[in-house]
Amino acid sequence: MKIALGQINLVIGNVEDNIRRIQEHVSQAKEQGCRLIVFPEMAVTGYPPRDLVTRSGFVTAARLAVEELVRNIRGIAVIVGGLESQPSGTGQGRVLHNTAFLLDGEGGMVPCHKQVLGDYDLLDEARYFAPGQTTGCWELDGLCIGVSIGEDLNGPLLKAQVEAGADLLINIGSFPYYFDQETSLQATFSQIAHGNALPLVWVNQVGANDETIFAGQSLVVDAEGNICARARPFREELLIVELENGYWHGAMPPVTTNSIAMLHDALVMGIRDYVHKSGFTDVVLGLSGGLDSAVVACLAVEALGPERVHGISLPSPYSSPGSITDAKALAENLGCSFQIIPITDAFRSVKETLADCFIDLALDTTEENIQARLRGLFWMALSNKFGWLVLNASNKSELAVGYTTLYGDMCGSLAVLSDVYKSDVYRLADWINREKEIIPAATMTKPPSAELRPGQEDTDSLPPYGILDGILRLFIEERKTIAEVKEAGYPQETVDQVLKLLLGTEYKRWQAAPGLRVSKRGFGSGWRMPLVSSYQWLWNSDA
């Protein structure tokens, strides 16, 4: 049987366009002699649709779209994800199911409901869907196919399908990407195929929707657990393979890449999809001469093209000449527009306006934050005037400890690096410069600084980033206790300082721009700490 894997990029809520794209790929697969084409989880609606599924009109549109597919598709079978509304069975309204629709290409359709709901971190399916009860296999041309959705591949449905005599396992998924996942992901599917001695097809969504990024990397695995083919990461692709007597033919060898390249490509796709799916064309960002803004500018140019990226330098009285020079050199290397708008006069005017309120008070972070907020004001003014979307360049290290200014350098529509630690920003910069110097060498080597007071460096307020990031990774991603973090070899005083900052600046993260999620646990949907709490008991606890 010739099978096509339809790894496509979908738009949440645009059911009409999603159906059009599905039918286009169906036609391509049919032209190439495929008997079956498989699409990702909830391809009809886009994923995750979140509270859109609470709107009856949206549910109706999704149902009508599936009915349209059943009417229009002939001569090729299709497995496609969507949602189905059914009576609850309790007389209390209807329930929704995350559903795989199995279309035989002759006007027939069988729904298969997801049983193990994704209820962790970015996924909150239990809020919207009821678990299904369907089991067994789907017969197609004498082949017994076990169809599952996402997390079902590790649940009781898989066992039931194997016991029912499945010849092939097919899983449709929408698995969010996170940094350094590719090895573990392949290992998981290899183990499932090998453990059940069955060939396996996994079709994953590709694209970015809000903070969630899907890498694609759809897989074809043989019964011995060997990866026979893998679709490209972060690209739409129609991957065609052929199954004969339990073995794959015509499959390409798996694509290999490294983790930092994957991170780079994830962020590029995240920017591109966020901008385009939001209806924008151009972006604007501050180019400070620092590393974070330089990396974001490079990613934006890769995503949108240099003509769509507008860099703005906003020097204050404390900005070094080198920072302006570095920002200009970066813009020239990238080919994007660059403009210098000094804020010294505006800063002086604000200080004079506040002079009567601040009599006899020394300069402190108030004046530093005024400069940052003036920069935010100018970014937003340009955004309003020209319709440009503002990109934020704050990294995860800064956001974690509150080393960023509300309504200043935190402003923007998309926080590109908000889930990337500073140490990984350096690695991204090295990758960007792997063939030639795009980011100026001085930007890479000078000490990080906000340049909001004379001689300021980040290490005046924070531990070195190598130490800071190590502590944060253990506490946030690995969910280690304070005692475990200290046992890892970090100084007790430093650990206490970092965690106090982390827990004490939640109010800033609640007001932060949405960010691209690229780690196992990022701020936003995956981090739901209370804004006001008495969590300080943790300091005297091993919990």
SS (H, E, C) 453-479: CCCCCHHHCCCCHHHHHHHHHHHHCCC
Q: What is the DSSP letter of 14?
A: -
Residue 253 confidence (pLDDT): 58
For residue 256, the model assigns a pLDDT of 57
The neighbour count for residue 478, using CB atoms within 10 Å, is: 13
* Integer angstrom CA distances of residue 287 from 315, 407, 428: 10, 17, 17
pLDDT for the residue 247: 79
Partners of 107 in the beta sheet?
none
What is the C-alpha separation between 241 and 222, in angstroms, rounded?
12
DSSP one-letter code for 106: S
Tokens 């190598």, residue? 466
* Cβ contact 421:472 at 8 Å: yes
SS3 call for 127: helix
Assigned token pair, 525: 């949907």
262 within 8 A of 397, measured Cβ to Cβ: no
Give which of 29, 38, 101, 42 is closest to 69, Cα–Cα.
101
Task: Write down the CATH number for the domain with range 263-458.
Answer: 3.40.50.620
What is the torsion angle, in degrees rounded to the nearest 10, for the CA atoms of residue 511, residue 512, residue 517 and residue 519?
Answer: -90
102 vs 424: CA distance, rounded Å? 43
pLDDT of residue 456: 74
Question: For the chain, percent helix, then strand, then coil, each to nearest 5?
Answer: 40, 20, 40
Return the structure tokens found at 441.
């060498």
At residue 216, the pLDDT reads 94
| pLDDT, block means (10 residues), the chain with 543 residues | 96 95 97 97 95 94 96 97 85 85 96 90 88 87 94 89 94 91 84 95 96 94 93 94 82 68 97 97 96 97 98 91 93 98 96 94 92 96 98 96 93 96 96 96 84 72 91 91 89 91 91 94 85 58 47
The closest of 246, 201, 222 to 7, measured between CA atoms, is: 201
Burial class from Cβ neighbours inside 10 Å (0-12, 13-18, 19+) for residue 532 reads: exposed
- The CATH H-level (homologous superfamily) assignment of domain 2-246 is Carbon-nitrogen hydrolase (3.60.110.10)
Nearest Cα to Cα of residue 145 among 164, 171, 166, 165: 166
In this structure, what DSSP letter does residue 116 have?
S
Q: What is the pLDDT of residue 461?
A: 80
pLDDT of residue 481: 86
Q: Look at strands 77-87 and 36-38 and give their pairing.
A: parallel
Under 8 Å between Cβ of 31 and 8 = no
CB atoms < 10 A from the CB of 274, how many?
24
As given in the structure block, the two tokens for residue 347 are 């800063």
What amino acid occupies position 244?
E
Predicted pLDDT of residue 534: 60
User: Residue 103's pLDDT is what?
Assistant: 97
Distance in angstroms (rounded) separating the CA atoms of residues 30 and 352 = 72
State residue 537's pLDDT score.
41
Q: Is the pTM of this model over 0.85?
A: yes
Residue 40's alpha-carbon distances to 3, 67, 207, in angstroms, are 14, 18, 12
| Residues 6 or more apart whose Cβ sits within 8 Å of residue 478 | none
Beta pairing class for 200-204 and 237-244? unpaired
346, β-bridge pairs: none
Could you give phi then psi for residue 333, rounded to 5 degrees? -65, -35
Q: Which amino acid is at 390?
A: V
For helices 422-432 and 465-476, angle between their N-to-C axes, nearest 10 degrees: 110
Ranges of each domain in the chain:
2-246, 263-458
Query: Tokens representing 133?
Result: 């009860």
Measured in whole angstroms, how far is the alpha carbon of residue 375 from the centre of its chain? 27
Query: Residue ranges of the alpha helices (H) in 181-258?
Result: 182-196
Residue 195 pLDDT: 94
Output the pLDDT for position 251. Answer: 58
